[in-house]
Amino acid sequence: MADLADKLNRPLLDAAGVVAGDRVLDLASGAGEPALSAARRVGGAGLVVGSDLVPGMLGGAVRRAATETAPPLFTAADMTSLPFANGAFDRVTCRFGVMFVPDTLAALRDVRRVLRAGGRAAFMVWGPLAGNGLFADIGAAVAARLGEDHSLAPLFRFAAPGSLAAAMSEAGFGTVTESDLTPVRKAPADQPFWRAALDMSFGHRLGGLPANERAALESDIAARFAAQAVDGVVPVPAHVRIIVGQ
């Protein structure tokens, strides 16, 4: 994701209206983004709290923050029951996290609660699978080898335009807007840039797979992407959506 990071984080932070001095809560921070980018933007006068349901997910985020001059604070938190005071934050951000929360409304209501009046929350979700070449090709290769599979469905839970926006309105956000981004990732053709996404999405199925079958699947995936390479670079299209609530 590294080469995509700026193309995703900057528009998300812009949409949330994050500026120097803000108090920002990042939900489902995982390995640390966009909390780390937000911390650079708010600077020493601001405060960024990065959070995730799974404390172990934050280990990498804490390590990456060690080299920052004004690092975020990281803490475990379930976004449906946030351990923060009412109105504690100016901005809330969340990149690719809200789709994994079964009780979306509970999460969105609690996000409203911790935002100050006039504050803003911005969520980034995946657009349709067809526009996301990484997942589309991995999913097609897995389906061809292992049969039909619904493991990618949670990622694309809010792919339909307006679906998360409707939930935000229901949760009480006054003004809700959404916009689409279609960045193209430049992936190195000679590296297995797709492996992390394969493990993240299909690890539960691949765990019991004999080594030779896993190798055959990986070689199918590598061949699919190699066929798209131009001068050693695979252009991998992505389609994401940013939904903002005030």
Ligand X SMILES: C[S@@+](CC[C@H](N)C(=O)[O-])C[C@H]1O[C@@H](n2cnc3c(N)ncnc32)[C@H](O)[C@@H]1O
Candidates 75, 200, 70; CA nearest to 135 is 200
Q: Which amino acid is at 95?
A: R
Q: Taking contact as CB under 6 A, which single stretch among the options 52-60, 63-71, 135-143, 215-223 is the one that binds ligand X? A: 52-60
Q: Taking contact as CB under 6 A, which single stretch among the options 75-83, 127-135, 162-170, 183-191 is the one that binds ligand X? A: 75-83
Q: Report the residue from 4, 14, 17, 57 that binds ligand X according to the rule CB under 6 A.
A: 57
Decide: is 33 part of the binding site for ligand X (CB under 6 A). Answer: yes
Decide: is 95 part of the binding site for ligand X (CB under 6 A). Answer: yes
Q: Report the residue from 20, 54, 143, 226 that binds ligand X according to the rule CB under 6 A.
A: 54
Residues with Cβ < 8 Å from 96, sequence gap 6 or more? 28, 30, 124, 125, 126, 155
Decide: is 197 part of the binding site for ligand X (CB under 6 A). Answer: no
Outline where the chain has alpha helix (H).
2-16, 35-42, 58-65, 104-114, 133-146, 163-170, 195-206, 211-226
Residue 25, Ramachandran bin (φ over 0: left; ψ between -120 and 50: alpha; else beta): beta
* Of residues 36 and 42, the one with the C-beta less far from ligand X: 36
Per-residue DSSP letter, 129: G
Q: Report the residue from 16, 39, 42, 101 that binds ligand X according to the rule CB under 6 A.
A: 101
Q: Contact positions toward ligand X, by CB under 6 A? A: 27-31, 33, 52-54, 57, 78-80, 95-97, 100-101
